[in-house]
Amino acid sequence: MAKKSNSSELKVSKIKEGTVIDHVDAGMALIVLEMLGITGREGTVATLSMNVVSKKTGRKDIVKIENRFLEYTEINQIALISPNATINEIKNFTVVKKFDVQLPEVIVGFPKCINPRCITNAREPQVQTYYVKSVDPLKIRCKYCNTNMDKNDVVKQLTKYSGITK
């Protein structure tokens, strides 16, 4: 029997192969795309849903990217700005892997430290290393200069966006 549909139901096509990032914090979909280096001009097939009703959290964004599977680092970047996201890997129209993003206790290699004098910004830099102090709201502390960074700082360092409102 066909699934009953009503006007509040989300109507977005299923994808054949690729990644569905679900439960993205409402309003963060474009930032997720930019962090993944997707502009559209490279030909990536992607579908965004913004501020749609979610069973769990009120509102959410969904990002569907065809023919792309995410690396560990990319998943951690998403976790920084959207700690409740779920990654679904789709093969031949079927969800073959589903997991929640999870920030490690230590983040290595990104983002840029906001302190210009930090040794990670020096001419012979140390690799960025941060201790995760809090996931939501985000607070990470630079191992080298002890500067704290929040979600807004991270978005500014990882994208061209100059700021977010929450």
Enumerate binding residues for ligand CTP (CB under 6 A): 14-15, 20, 22, 62, 64, 86, 88, 90, 93, 95, 98
Nearer to ligand CTP, 14 or 133 (CB): 14
Distances (CA, A) of 83 to 11, 23, 110: 25, 9, 17
Q: Which of ligand CTP, Zn ion, none does residue 93 bind (CB under 5 to 8 Å by kind)?
A: ligand CTP
In whole angstroms, give the CA distance from residue 145 to residue 117.
9
Rounded (10°) angle between helices 72-81 and 151-158: 140
**Measured in whole angstroms, how far is the alpha carbon of residue 46 from the centre of its chain?**
15
22 binds, among ligand CTP, Zn ion, none (CB under 5 to 8 A by kind): ligand CTP
CB of 115 to Zn ion, least distance (A): 5
Residues 48, 30: Cα–Cα separation, whole Å: 8
Residue 113 beta carbon to Zn ion: minimum distance, rounded to whole angstroms: 3
Q: CB-wise, 64 or 151, nearer to ligand CTP?
A: 64
Q: Rank residues 115 and 152 by Cβ distance to Zn ion and give the closer one.
A: 115
Q: Is-contact 55 70, C-beta < 8 A? A: no
Q: Which does 59 bind (CB under 5 to 8 A by kind): Zn ion, ligand CTP, none?
A: none
Minimal distance, residue 64 CB to ligand CTP, in Å:
5
Determine phi and psi for 121, rounding to 5 degrees: -105, 10
Smallest separation, CB 133 to ligand CTP (Å):
28
Cβ neighbours of residue 154 closer than 8 Å, sequence gap 6 or more: 80, 81, 111, 138, 140
Tokens 């914090």 locate to 25
Residue 130 binds which entry of ligand CTP, Zn ion, none, CB below 5-8 Å type-dependent: none
